[in-house]
Amino acid sequence: MPKTRLASLALCLAVVAPAHAQAPLPQLKAYEVPVGWLTPIQPLRIADHVWQIGTANITALLVKTDRGAVLIDGGMPQAADLLLAHMKALGVAPGDLRLILHSHAHGDHAGALATIKRATGATLVSNAESAALLERGGSRDIHFGDSIVYPPVRADRLLQDGEVVQLGSTAFTVSFTPGHTPGSMSWTWNDTQGGTAVRIAYLDSLTAPGYKLVKNPASPRILDSYAHSIAVIRKLPCDLLVTPHPEQSGWDYGNAARPHPRPMSCAAYADAAEAALKKQVEMQRAQQP
């Protein structure tokens, strides 16, 4: 082989051969969350037809109706098998789950929905804003970027604000409560507790964890969204309040003897959120140049 061709071959091999002397690129690492978000607990009865089947600090509600069951939120991706096992223990086979509703499309609440939907064939109900984030698996979030991703899932039905989702004799009314995410949703429906009528409100988070609330170019009207949602939540029918993170509405799912030591009204929940957001905004404005 001519020397010129040998020289060219050696140059090519030098380009494509791995540089063993250099350190390898870092491995991918999944995000970590508080341990309570991943701690299994036994199903907890919330009302006569409603059970908390999620983890110690993440709510996932199973609602039984006369035409099948409904799941509201799913928790972290790792929780999917736990949810299916809890459904089975409560007499709900995969094919008995008819609807999946949700609060917002962050990974700690929507992470398991793709697996649950695939295992059950249930209809996933969302709205336009949340559906876009669900299909991206949480990527390109306006606050978190790509740091909290999960298996993507496509919604089967998109709702308008105030729409009713009916399954048998149970009617779930959606209220759009944007702020925590642009597509945040809260749900109200009627049930009984010990045979006594009760109006249940499952309200989405009103927190802003690390959010830029002042002069945020990605969400310039975010404070208007929170103000709207706080006003809506104050007026919702609300005998029994449940939230995606139980401690925000006075629940302690791990305390079987006293799981709801600090019951809270919807108005009190709104007032607390308003006060916390005001403090957060004041701190951010004080730090503005």
Which residue, 93, 94, 90, 108, is CA-closest to 33? 108
Please pick, among 150, 202, 211, 269, the residue that the annotation labels catalytic. Answer: 211
Q: Is 20 a catalytic residue?
A: no
Catalytic site includes residue 104: yes
User: Kind and range of the H or E element at 200?
Assistant: strand 196-202
Candidates 106, 191, 202, 269; catalytic one? 106
How many angstroms separate the CA atoms of 198 and 223, rounded?
32
- For 273, the 3-state DSSP assignment is helix
Could you say which of 109, 202, 204, 226 is catalytic? 109
**Under DSSP, is residue 36 helix (H, G, I), strand (E, B) or coil?**
helix
Amino acid at 1: M
Burial of 190 per CB tally in 10 Å (0-12, 13-18, 19+): middle
Residue 86 catalytic?
no
Active site residue 228: no
Provide the 8-state DSSP code for 121: -
Among 102, 104, 143, 260, the active-site one is 104
Distance set, CA 156 to CA 99, 101, 162, 202 (Å): 10, 11, 18, 21
What single-letter amino acid sits at 176? F
Q: Which neighbouring-strand residues pair with 66? A: 68
Q: Which of 108, 141, 191, 204 is catalytic?
A: 108
Beta bridge partners of 197: 192
Q: Is 226 a catalytic residue?
A: no
> Annotated catalytic sites, by residue?
104, 106, 108-109, 180, 211, 245
